[in-house]
Amino acid sequence: MTFFPRVFLNSKEEKEINQGFPWVFDNEISHIKTKKVSGQNEQWINVSLKEADIAPGTPVEIFTKAGGFLGTGILNKNSKITIRIISNEHGDEVYKDIESFWSKRVSDAYNIRQIHYKNQDSYRLIFAEADLIPGFICERYCDENENVYLVVQFLSMSCEIFRKEILDALEKCCRPYGIFERSDADVRTKEGLELKAGWIGAKREEEIVIIENGIRIKVDLANGQKTGYFLDQKDNRAVAAQFCHGKSVLDTFTHTGAFGLNAFKAGAKSVISVDISEEAVETVNKNIQLNNASKVMTAVCADVFDLLKQYEAEERKFDVIILDPPAFTKSAKMVQKAYGGYKEINLRAMRLLNKGGILVTCSCSHFFDSNTFYDMLMHAAMDSHRVVQILEKRGAGPDHPVLLGYPKSEYLKCAITRVF
């Protein structure tokens, strides 16, 4: 039988784990029971986390203060997230065939998505903890020639040590034409891991064209934000487009122009797509040309806050406005400040809409939860002296499952509203 150090939690810390939370923080650990070897002799000893001589990436079993078994995880003393739980089974069960264990996790994620997606679709194949593979992200892109590309991120020690098993399982499931690694996020340094980026195996074209809802989108696998493209809004873009036929549309924080292009495809009368990044606007212009949309669609490089003020001063009006900003807060401490930013852009957008106009408004910060988001909308409506009707509350698509007990997995809010 393989030996696994036993991590005991402080009193009552097991509640969140029993509810599905997949992490153990350093300050939640009471002590660790491990083996001390002296010559031929072994003995169990209790040590603190600080005293424990346990290498990063070591599998451990997790117990309540009273000794109840909770699960098996990967310990990394370099990280505040000291343990990421990989299974609610004992370590021996997990490690008796580790290749099959990870192959099943990958195939489970792949198979459930076959219900919603076809081979020509691009979607998130693995969503880290929400797909029970902590710290690992995989996007599946299919280009217009039906070549399958995977973009992968190993963001934690808990998946880094199983790199070979996970990649082998992906090869088996997807038979990809190319795999590009984007493990270049700063979070890896918090795990004690070096940043990595580049092709795994054969080198392919870094810029590809995918088809989304009938439009062509250029995706830069190597240099695009995060994993190349924001697939989580794909379904929301299609729904928003239903309101755009014959309408004037303002598409803000546009990034690649995808919301605006979906509006164009639906028959919008005019589309203005705005982003503060010159590089993003350059990409939008390429996508406009790619879709022969230049007679309808214009890309503008501007600060959205300033442009909304300017349009209000000019008494401009629109039929549809889309707000898809980046996360205004990445910590709980900054939620109140973010509230002010979200409220300002929503209030100004409401004032710019014709009566009965459509506001599609989003937040991708998990710290800015759903209750806070809709409270902000209510106060923006009050201060703009407009009446707002919520037509639909939406989130990310089915390729972004939500793990109960892990609020971070339910991060995206998208409200389709009508403003009177």
**Cα distances (Å, whole numbers) of residue 25 to 48, 80, 120, 125, 131:** 14, 6, 41, 27, 20
H or E element that contains 337: helix 335-352
Residues in the chain: 420
The three-state secondary structure class of 295 is coil
CA distance 410 to 403: 8
Contact partners, residue 292, CB within 8 Å, separation at least 6: none
Q: What is the rounded (10 degree) CA torsion for 413, 110, 173, 235? A: -40
What tokens appear for 140 in the block?
A: 């599946």
Considering just the CA atoms, what is the radius of gyration of the chain in Å?
A: 24
Q: Which positions are catalytic?
A: 364
**Cα distances (Å, whole numbers) of residue 293 to 82, 131, 236, 285, 323:** 50, 38, 21, 9, 21
Q: Which residues of 229-252 are buried (b: 16+ CB within 10 A; e: fewer)?
A: bbbbbbbbbbbbbebbeebbbbbb
- Please, which contacts does 239-243 make with residues 24 or more away whose CB atoms are closer than 8 Å? 239/392, 239/394, 239/416, 240/320, 240/322, 240/358, 240/360, 240/416, 241/213, 241/265, 241/266, 242/266, 243/320, 243/358, 243/360, 243/416
Please report, in angstroms and rounded to a whole number, the separation of the first and last CA atoms in the chain.
68
Q: Contact, 159 vs 134, CB < 8 A?
A: yes
- Strand positions, DSSP E, 236-339: 248-252, 270-275, 297-301, 318-323
Q: Contact, 32 vs 46, CB < 8 A?
A: yes
DSSP type of residue 246: T
